[in-house]
Amino acid sequence: MRIDGKVVLITGASEGIGAACAESFRRRGAKLSLVARSEEKLRQVAGGDALITVGDVTLPETRAAAVAGTLERYGTIDILLNNAGVGLYSPSWRASIEETRRMYELNFFAPLGLIQLVVPHMRAKKSGMIVNVSSIAGKMTLPWFTLYSSTKFALGSLTNGLRMELRYDGIQTMVVCPGYVKTRFQTNVIDGQPPDRLLRGRKFAITPVQCAEAIARGVERGARTVVTPAYSWIYIAFHGLFPSLVDSQLAAIYHGDPP
């Protein structure tokens, strides 16, 4: 898909991957509609030309306002980029059910709610693209992130199912699976802490700009799946071939066993 002139609705756009996506798509000539809770940060990212919707995307009224406002200003929505998300490090066997529901509301039900608002419009014009930002944790379950992984597996499954549902409607879907990205994600988690060895692995993280560029290139070539950095495909493939071995290595990281 050619991005120049397209209208892109991005959630979680006030910082991190979302803000970097706003800049990456803007440089390619897109018209932006940005959604997040922080008005101050959104205005900085918007730069005076993008439409902003301030609010919690888990609320139906925020989603409705974002979609209605975008259609009112631009007359269309070409790309929906569901980026907003949150983590939870608590073990699944003792995590708060309320906190788990809160994570599912943002990581899964908010994207689904926006999709249900946007798809009828895209079907009417026989074109569009839905981009859902998942995680490498949506390709292989990470034990320090079991419940978070489950939300990202669900989002990936939704993306794949939508692709088949909308096959004859001119609508593409793409799932994005980043590895470790240098954002404030870990400081914004609902509860818990990552393993020490994971924290030491930050030197292998990519930047939000690198992630955003991978997303934009994926949209341009009509990709089904974007894994970034690309070498993470090796881990995913290895897990598929030798699941018991990878599970034991991940468990060792989780429990703090020596490398």
89 is catalytic: no
Q: Where are the beta strands (DSSP E) in 71-187?
A: 79-82, 128-133, 171-178
Length of the chain as a residue count: 259
User: How many C-beta neighbours within 10 Å does residue 210 have?
Assistant: 17
List the alpha helices (DSSP H) in 75-141: 97-104, 110-125
Question: Who contacts 240 (Cβ-Cβ below 8 Å, separation ≥6)?
Answer: none
d(CA 259, CA 257): 6
d(CA 221, CA 157): 21
User: Exactly one of 148, 168, 231, 254 is catalytic; which is it?
Assistant: 148
Which residue, 130, 105, 106, is CA-closest to 118? 130
List the catalytic residues.
148
